[in-house]
Amino acid sequence: MSTDTGERVTLPGLWHLEFEHAAGRAASRFLVGLRDDQVLRASPCPNCSRILVPARNFCEDCFVPTSDDCVDVGPEGVVESFTFTYARFAGYADPPYGVAYVRPDGATTAIGNFVTGVDFTDPAAAAARLAIGTRMRAAFRPDGERQARITDFTWEPVGGGL
């Protein structure tokens, strides 16, 4: 006689893991640049001449190590893509909020971050305000509030928002 009823039992569980992540040579330079100098640092590729932001250890196109000499890019750039949400996600700001992928002046790649200075309550107006090619500026947190984290800055429209 078979005892398999087809029932699948799930057991609740919770994992809490604390860890530290070593950012590495290039990412550390990028993050320290945000915190201490309010600049966006990029890595030049010695092979293809791309300027990669955020700074990274190798070029993902050429697979060669990047230069140890970072260059500053931005602080302004152009929107390459964007999104915004009205859904709530654990650990994030209360919605609505937006994220833009911006290519800083002097860089050949883009970097995503949260957007400030745009009213997201009207989706059509927000989308128009973040249209591809819109000029954005890195807005840094005040002194004493920066922590060498990507959240040390946000993107905001050049010329004001809302």
Q: What is the pLDDT of residues 69-80, one digit of tens each?
A: 999 999 999 999
Give the mean pLDDT of 7-17: 88
What pLDDT is recorded for position 34? 97
Task: Give residue 71's Cα distance to chain centre.
Answer: 18
Please, which residues have CB within 8 angstroms of residue 33's CB and are 6 or more apart in sequence? Answer: 39, 40, 41, 55, 70, 72
- Which residues constitute the domain of residue 67? 25-157
- CA of 49: how far to CAs of 91, 106, 129, in Å? 37, 12, 32
Task: Give residue 110's Cα distance to chain centre.
Answer: 9
SS (H, E, C) 12-33: CCCCCCCCCCCCCHHHHHHHHH
pTM here? Answer: 0.84
Whether 14 maps to a domain, the answer reads: no
Whether 15 maps to a domain, the answer reads: no
CB atoms within 10 A of CB 115: 26
How many domains is the chain built from?
A: 1
Give, as one character, the DSSP assignment of residue 74: -
Whether 17 maps to a domain, the answer reads: no
Weakest-pLDDT range from 21-25, 43-47, 53-57, 131-135 = 21-25
